[in-house]
Amino acid sequence: MDTKFIRNFSIIAHIDHGKSTLADRLLELTGTITERQAREQFLDSMDLERERGITIKASTVTMYYVRDGQQYTLNLIDTPGHVDFHYEVSRALTACEGAILVVDATQGIQAQTVANAYMAIDAGCQIIGVINKIDLPAAQPDTVAQEIEHVFGIPAAECLWISAKTGDGVGQLLDAICDRLPAPPDRSDEPTAALIFDSQYDDYRGVICYVRVFSGSLWPRQRIRFIGTGAIYQIVEIGQFRPDMVPCDRLTSGQVGYVVANIRRIADVRVGDTITDDLRPTDKPIKGYRPAVQMVFSDFYPAAQTDFKRLRSAFEKLSLNDASFSFVPQNSPALGFGFRCGFLGLLHMEIIQERLERECNVDVVQTAPTVSYEILLKDGTIKRIDSPSELPDMSKVAELREPMVRLEIITPIDSIGGIMKLADARRCKLLKTDYLNPQRVILHFKAPLAEIVYDFYDQIKGISHGYATMDYEFIGFEASDLVKIDILVNGEPVDALSSIVHRSVAEQRGRRLILKLKQTIPRHQFEIPLQVAIGGKIIARENIKPFRKDVTAKLYGGDVTRKMKLLQKQKEGKKRLKSIGSVQIPQEAFMSVLEASKGQ
Amino acid sequence: MSCHDPKDRSRVGLYVHIPFCQTKCHYCSIYSEPIGVHDPARLCRAIESELNQYKDVDLRTAYIGGGSPTILPAELLVGLVSKIKQTWPTIEEFTIECNPGQADERVLQAIKAAGVDRISIGAQSFDQQELVLLGRRHTVADIYQAVRVARRAGLGNIGLDLIYAIPGSNLDTWYRNLCAAISLGVEHISTYALTIETGTAIEAAVAAGKLEPIDEETDCRMYELAIDVLESSGYQQYEISNFARPGFACRHNLGYWLGGQYIGIGPAAASYWQGRLTRNLMDVRGYTHAIEAGLPVICESEPVSDRQVIWQTAVLNLRMRQGIEIVDFAEKTGHDPLDLFGHVIDRYVRDGVMAVEEGRIFLTRKGMLIADYLLYHFVL
């Protein structure tokens, strides 16, 4: 098949700038779905995505469009739109030759606009600038076009003005996609190489791989090999997303579609891997994929120890749909067997946690997320730890290093003061200030990830009345004066409550943490001392007083039903408690570690 | 200290709920309605009709509670008592709740003659200010009068209810309350810690900062004071909140804690009958209409699984001072409680909140103070 009339592209945008609405309009205009079929925002298919109004997983769809009497095949690869999902965006962009950069005409360039656009440029994509929501009274398309030219060097005159909501200008955008974006190169004679940019597990069909064919072709009954994992399968079905899966006879160089090969071993499929023909393999696996960098870690323990196996299979299933989180078995002296999980960021963690409970029905107790640290030992070796409990004896440690990020905040100028104050309290260093226009500015910082990962964005939103946006990217580890805070509950150290913080705030955070714990750990029959230790030295103590009286005064016939129901309910609630010694600690307590770092 | 006949557990108790009150007390969350807007005769006919459904059951105790049963016109109340006693002549203990201020000597004589042999007087407090705070309509003098009248009517088994931990009270005022109750020479005294129930006037006052709840420490000491004072005055504690002179424990109420069956009659009454926990319609009109139309009045009904019977029996038994009789429990449920709850019991015995002696498992005084917390670990 001639690749001249294929266009592979993504839509990239800051959250809520109208990416999903635009995708819906493209589907309608190309007749891929009818207006009646069009559920709002077709591509956000996960319940969770709809609820949160964000795209988590990249989806894909093939459309046909006639331009000057010629039929074009347009493959839209949707990208996620949140700060945590850089990796997912990069996977999608690698499969494309072009990108549509959507900017809200009322909001202008935001932090993720910048981050996503640079990623597209890195991936070698041709970019079409699109200014959306021109139907709104507050739209300032001229100003926004100037910003786009100023920041990305895309001439303001080349930006398209559209309203994804009304459909205004979307036809011209389709024309521009055909005219301005490059066609994929035709390498159909070379050996097969197809990139897996996403996957999905189907209970009946096994793993479904989302692929972009770069060279050669794929066909049913072909013996294929996954270069990275070495697994060999025979293709059962290939096809395209229209947007439902429609089988076809062949996927050739330049095309996008899916592969079903009765794959039951989910470990055989790695997103980023290359599929080739087993009999005529390529010697050029596709490059350009950055591995996912997990920066936030948290322990997940099954609330009931007997659920450990169920939790494992739940993680295995989720990891198939989301290649960007990791899970490693972990045994905590305090909490028993569980998993240490790595995430791209905090939102990513919340999503996995919710999907775990919603889709897999496993009750989990989760520890407060921490970032990953690097340690230089005195013998010269370097070690990565992603849990405070892994910190070795400090006498062996030459240097503790914490992850640093490049942080960009775009804000109206009247909020600069408040943001700078917060940034200062969080040890962020201002590197540069760029004016987008006289009212808005990009602040470039270098910041410790640990300080911004949790509530920083919320704080910034609060300070700027919702106007500021931020994005960050990991740049490396840097030596820092860090100490470990240990918490002793009833005299026993609880590893899951330990944290690593900067020495300057350690004592304050420790004190705040035990006050918080005092509120979240219920009273017991006995007094529970809570202690904070820094470097093995106890620096603060609080006591949870025992309860003295807890008894129903009247229990006669009419009260029996009520009381028995209550007891049963309490028993259910106990599922989310963990016993440490004879102390029962509820889920919220483990999250207190985060609360203690809240505010300034 | 076994104060009951072990055969009691196989006997069924009858409870009749009269959901009428003059006004709502400030602490009360029990279902009741002002009597003025209803036709009590019609309700009594409905109740008698519901009673008929159980006429073949072997009932041994009866209890008419409320609300305020004594608010009913005398002839209706006497009629109801007679009907019950005539249907089940084998009833061995027949209690009626009586509000001080509604104790009429002739009425009490009449219901005594009709079969009532025990009266439970809702005294609540001997402090006039506390009565006002609780929203009680009677006076302290009414309590003395009620006891006198009951005695004159020939009732030889009188119980008094007291409430402690009332905002503004202290150990001293509580001690005087206890002494006043004891000095009346009644056979039975119940002491209930004030529970701030949702939807009550007291709850609203506390929420608005107008009343300060009693602190937990004082609450504990009041409870312990009650046990000390009452036991040293000849009242044995036989349940968390109940004290009686020897032989005067309320057999009807013991039935609940022994895990026995009970039939509740009247609006909002609850039953444990034939393996189900049920509750009647909580609405006087709905109830009477249903009865008159020949429709069922049960609005909630849940089967009780074997497993639930086991833990429920344990939890209820442990409210009594005598606790779980190990042999009886095993006979009834088919399980040795020491096997079933062994690890919990061991821990509690070590902590000094539970004891295993003479074939019984029971809470110590320390344990009774935190019974809810402890008993929750018996849920299977």
Please report the domains of chain A, with CATH numbers, ordered by start residue.
Answer: 3-180 (3.40.50.300), 193-277 (2.40.30.10), 296-366 (3.30.70.870), 374-480 (3.30.70.240), 483-595 (3.30.70.2570)
Residues B343 and B233 in one domain: no
Q: Which of B236, B257, B278 is the last residue of a domain?
A: B257
ipTM of the complex: 0.90
pLDDT digit string (tens) for A172-193?
999 999 999 999 999 999 999 9
Cβ <8 Å between B253 and A547: no
Domain membership of residue B301 (yes or no) is: no
Q: Which of A551, A554, A570 sits opposite B371 (nearest CB)?
A: A551
> B315 at the A interface (CB within 8 A)?
yes
Which residues partner with A246 through β-bridges?
A240
Number of A/B CB contacts below 8 angstroms equals 93
What's the total number of domains in chain B?
A: 2
Span A55-77, pLDDT tens digits: 444 478 999 999 999 999 999 99
Q: Kindly determine whether residue B256 and residue A555, on different chains, have CB atoms separated by under 8 Å.
A: yes
Beta-carbon separation of A560 and B316 below 8 A = yes
Q: Looking at the structure, do residues B116 and B202 belong to the same domain, yes or no? A: yes
Neighbours of A556 (CB within 10 A): 17
Q: Which residue on chain B is closest to A550 by alpha carbon?
A: B370
What mean pLDDT is reported for chain A? 86
The verdict on A558 touching B (C-beta cutoff 8 Å) is: yes
Judgement on whether residues B212 and B97 belong to the same structural domain of the protein: yes
Q: A556 — contact with chain B (CB < 8 Å)?
A: yes
Task: Determine the average pLDDT of the residues in A299-308.
Answer: 82
Confidence label for A575 from pLDDT (cuts 50, 70 and 90): low
User: Any residues with CB less than 8 A from the CB of A462 and at least 6 apart, and which?
Assistant: none
At residue B137, the pLDDT reads 92
B282 lies in some domain: no
Confidence band, pLDDT 50/70/90 cuts, at residue A313: confident
Q: A12 phi and psi, to 5 degrees?
A: -120, 145
Taking alpha carbons only, the member of A447, A450, A401 closest to residue A424 is: A447
Final residue belonging to a domain, choices B257, B288, B321:
B257
Between B24 and A42, where is the model more confident?
B24
DSSP A48-111: HHHHHTS--S--EEEEEEEETTEEEEEEEEE---SGGGHHHHHHHHHT-SEEEEEEETTT---H
* Nearest by CB: A549 against B219, B264, B379: B219
pLDDT of residue B5: 45
Q: Does residue B241 sit at the A interface (CB-CB below 8 Å)?
A: yes
pLDDT over threshold 70, residue A146:
yes
Pairing state between β A373-377 and A326-332: unpaired
For residue A390, how many other CB atoms are within 10 A of its CB?
Answer: 14
Chain A residues near residue B13 by CB distance under 8 angstroms: 557
Note whether residue B121 is domain-resident.
yes
The pLDDT value given to residue A84: 67
Q: With pLDDT > 70 as the criterion, what percentage of chain A qualifies?
A: 91
* pLDDT score of A573: 66
> Is A527's Cβ below 8 Å from some Cβ in B?
no
Q: How close B155 comes to chain A (CA, Å)?
A: 23
Residue B68 inside a domain? The answer is yes
Domain range spanning residue B73?
8-257
**CATH label of the domain that carries residue B118:** 3.80.30.20
Question: Is A554 an interface residue toward B (CB < 8 Å)?
Answer: yes
Distance CA A499, CA B31 (A): 52
Tens-digit pLDDT profile for residues B333-374: 999 999 999 989 999 999 999 999 999 999 999 999 999 989
- Segment B96-109, tens digit of pLDDT: 999 999 999 999 99
Same domain (yes/no): B228, B333: no
Do B155 and B42 sit in the same domain of this protein? yes
Q: Domain check: are B351 and B221 in the same one?
A: no
**CA-to-CA separations, A143 to A16, A342, A421, in angstroms, rounded:** 19, 41, 29
Specify whether B116 is located in the same domain as B242: yes
Q: Is residue B295 part of a domain?
A: no
Asked if B229 and B182 touch (Cβ cutoff 8 Å), the reply is yes
Are the CB atoms for B120 and B78 separated by under 8 Å? no
B199 contact A CB<8A: no
B177 shares contact with chain A (CB less than 8 Å): no
Together in a domain, B144 and B207 = yes
Q: How far apart are CA A476 and CA B140, in angstroms?
A: 79
Structure tokens at A402: 């914490």
d(CA B85, CA B81): 6
Q: Which residues of B touch A555 (CB under 8 A)?
A: 240, 256-257, 316, 319
A551: chain B residues, CB-CB within 8 Å: 193, 240, 368-372
pLDDT for B215 equals 93
Residue B3: pLDDT band (50, 70, 90) is very low
Per-residue confidence band for A243, with pLDDT thresholds at 50, 70 and 90: confident
Give A516-536 pLDDT, tens digit per residue. 889 888 888 889 999 999 988
Q: Residue B80: is its pLDDT beyond 80?
A: yes
> CA-CA distances (angstroms) from residue B219 to B29, B92, B163, B167, B174?
21, 36, 11, 11, 10
All residues of chain B having their beta carbon less than 8 Å from the beta carbon of residue A568 are 379
Whether residue A243 is preceded by a cis peptide bond, meaning omega within 30 degrees of 0, is yes
- For the segment A388-411, the average pLDDT, to the nearest whole number, is 90
B300 lies in a domain?
no
Residues of A in contact with B279 (CB under 8 A): 558, 561
Residues in a beta bridge with A297: A342, A370
Query: B77 and B221 share a domain?
Result: yes
Which of A549, A560, A564 is nearest residue B369 as measured by Cβ atoms?
Answer: A549
Q: Which residue of A has its CA nearest to B217?
A: A548
Q: Does B76 touch chain A (CB under 8 A)?
A: no
CB contacts of B30 in chain A (<8 Å) are 558
Query: Is residue B263 a part of any domain in this protein?
Result: no
Burial per residue of B246-272, b for 16 or more beta-carbon CB atoms within 10 angstroms, e otherwise? eebbbbbbbbbbbbbbbbbbbbbbbbb
| Residue B222 pLDDT greater than 50, yes or no | yes
Query: Rounded CA gap, B172 and A577, in Å?
Result: 41
Decide if pLDDT at A267 tops 90: no
User: How confident is residue A331, by pLDDT bands cut at 50, 70 and 90?
Assistant: confident
- What is the per-residue pLDDT across B14-33, written as a single tens digit (0 to 9) for each? 999 999 998 999 999 888 99
Instruction: In whole angstroms, give the CA distance from residue A20 to residue A102.
Output: 11
pLDDT confidence tier of residue A600, bands split at 50, 70 and 90: very low
Q: Which of A209-218, A387-396, B11-20 has the lowest mean pLDDT?
A: A387-396
pLDDT more than 90, % of chain A: 42
pLDDT band at A83 (very low <50, low <70, confident <90, very high): low
Q: Kindly report, residue by residue over B249-287, the tens digit of the pLDDT.
A: 999 999 999 999 999 999 999 999 999 999 999 999 999
Give the pLDDT band (50/70/90) at residue A81: low
Chain B contact probe: residue of A551, A566, A568, A582 with most B CBs at under 10 A: A551
- Asked if residue B189 and residue B251 are part of one domain, the reply reads yes
Query: Are A288 and A274 a contacting pair, CB within 8 Å?
Result: no
Confidence of residue A53 (pLDDT cuts 50, 70, 90): very low
Cα distance between residue A103 and residue A159, in whole Å: 10
Name which of A391, A390, A387, A367 is nearest A580 in CA terms.
A367
Q: For residues B230 and B336, state if they share a domain.
A: no
- The verdict on residue B22 lying in a domain is yes
DSSP string, A315-363: HHHHHHH-TT-EEEEEEETTTEEEEEEEESSHHHHHHHHHHHHHHH---
Candidate from A558, A568, A571 with C-beta closest to B270: A558
CATH of residue B356's domain is: 1.10.10
B274-287 in b/e burial notation, b at 16+ Cβ within 10 A? Answer: eeebbbbbebbeeb
Does the beta carbon of B362 lie under 8 angstroms from any beta carbon of chain A? no
CB proximity B231 to A under 8 Å: no
A361 Cβ under 8 Å from any chain B Cβ: no
B315 and B253 housed in the same domain = no
- Inter-CA distances, B99 with B14, B31, B190, B359, Å: 20, 16, 15, 40
Which pLDDT belongs to residue A496? 83
